[in-house]
Amino acid sequence: MDQFSAHLDRGWDLVQRGDSAGAELSARRALEMDNQSPEAYNLLGYVAALQGEFEEAAEHYRTAISLDDTYFEAMLNAAEICIHPLGDITEAIDLCDQALDLAESDDERIDALLLKFDALLSSADSEAAKRLCNTFPDGPYENPMHSFLVARALYEIGDAERAVPLIEAAVKSGPPNPEAWYYLGLIRDDRGDTTAATQAFLCSRQLDLEIPPPPWTLTRETFEETVRQAVAALPADVAQFLRKDEEYVSDVPGVEVVADGVDPRALLLLDGLVARPGEKPSARVIVYQRNVERLAGSVDSVAAEIVAALRRELTASFIDAPPPVSD
């Protein structure tokens, strides 16, 4: 193996180990040897995305594609971050269409179709998303991740019947996948099988906890301060329902509250929704750092996700809630 290839291979190996800084160094060493390498720019983009630097990642991916306009992997990587968190759906769909033109196997076609589905769903074009689901190659799929992702797409368009056997296959035959267990929980819950749904949600919760946090994760102290600032940023008509200095932080919802029906991927929980004697109704809040950071995708988006979740939950619980029924 030549030295250039060794740097790239080491970079991807370090990515798998969670060492994004080491992977970036390997990519830049490869670029020093060949500054026109699309593979090195693709690796740099991937590392930047891991570090939460999504604009930078997009630029690296664009450079890789400009150097090789048949670079299928770079197109999909770029499309993924264009969908979330960049929200550039037009570019994402264009990249997916380019990738579909280049796809040489069912696996490649499925990868591109799945990303295009996510883009269409993000654009609220549900009819186009439904039509796209009819173009997936027929299963069963050799790749358990494809079984799960196709099942997730079918579930999102309301076709749970087609989703069930695929999601069950993904859970049974694939490597442990918290996403697959989570969607299995949703399907079981929709069917009214609460006990089985809870078991699936608890499996998803445990697997989520086994995944290392992102390289950019906030320290607990910084996250707690971010929560306090988010509370301070709420409008007065919403903030009045939070108890002063009763903001708490945890990684994910506890087993006991998941067993009681709380979504294991909830961003926060309003607790103690009972009016104290002589006081107006209020609540304390528990914010779940792992879940917030998963949705936010970067440091810059964490505070906004917390504020949005607080406004949504407080409004639903206090402002839009129906009045209590008197005896």
pLDDT at 273: 75
Least-confidence region, from 57-61, 264-268, 276-280 = 276-280
Task: For residues 109-124, give the mean pLDDT.
Answer: 95
pLDDT at 174: 74
Q: What is the pLDDT of residues 298-317, one digit of tens each?
A: 899 999 999 999 999 999 99
| Cα gap 285→255, rounded to integer Å | 17
| Cα gap 232→224, rounded to integer Å | 13
Of all residues in the chain, the percent with pLDDT exceeding 90 is 82
Helices (H), ranges, 211-298: 220-232, 236-239, 255-259, 289-296
pLDDT at 326: 46
Asked whether 157 and 130 are in contact (CB, 8 A), the reply is yes
Token pair listed for 191: 């069917």
Q: What is the pLDDT of residues 28-46, one digit of tens each?
A: 999 999 999 999 999 999 9
pLDDT at 140: 80
Of all residues in the chain, the percent with pLDDT exceeding 70 is 96
pLDDT at 311: 96
Task: For residues 237-246, give the mean pLDDT.
Answer: 92
| Cα gap 273→250, rounded to integer Å | 19
Q: What is the pLDDT of residues 273-282, one digit of tens each?
A: 766 666 788 8
Distances (CA, A) of 280 to 233, 275, 312, 317, 319: 21, 6, 19, 13, 13
| Cα gap 196→243, rounded to integer Å | 35
- Alpha-carbon torsion 214, 219, 222, 223, what sign? positive
Q: Which of the 8 DSSP states describes residue 156? A: H
Where does the pLDDT of residue 323 fall: very low under 50, low under 70, confident under 90, or very high at 90 and above? low
Task: For residues 124-128, give the mean pLDDT.
Answer: 92
Q: Is the bond preceding residue 165 a cis peptide, omega within 30 degrees?
A: no
Whether 229 has a pLDDT exceeding 90, the answer reads: yes
| Cα gap 281→321, rounded to integer Å | 12
- Alpha-carbon torsion 153, 145, 111, 7, what sign? positive
Task: For residues 125-148, give the mean pLDDT.
Answer: 89
Where does the pLDDT of residue 49 fall: very low under 50, low under 70, confident under 90, or very high at 90 and above? very high
Whether 327 has a pLDDT exceeding 50, the answer reads: no
| Cα gap 304→161, rounded to integer Å | 36
Whether 191 has a pLDDT exceeding 90, the answer reads: yes
Asked whether 145 and 174 are in contact (CB, 8 A), the reply is yes
Token pair listed for 261: 């029906």
Task: For residues 79-106, give the mean pLDDT.
Answer: 95
Task: For residues 228-257, give the mean pLDDT.
Answer: 95
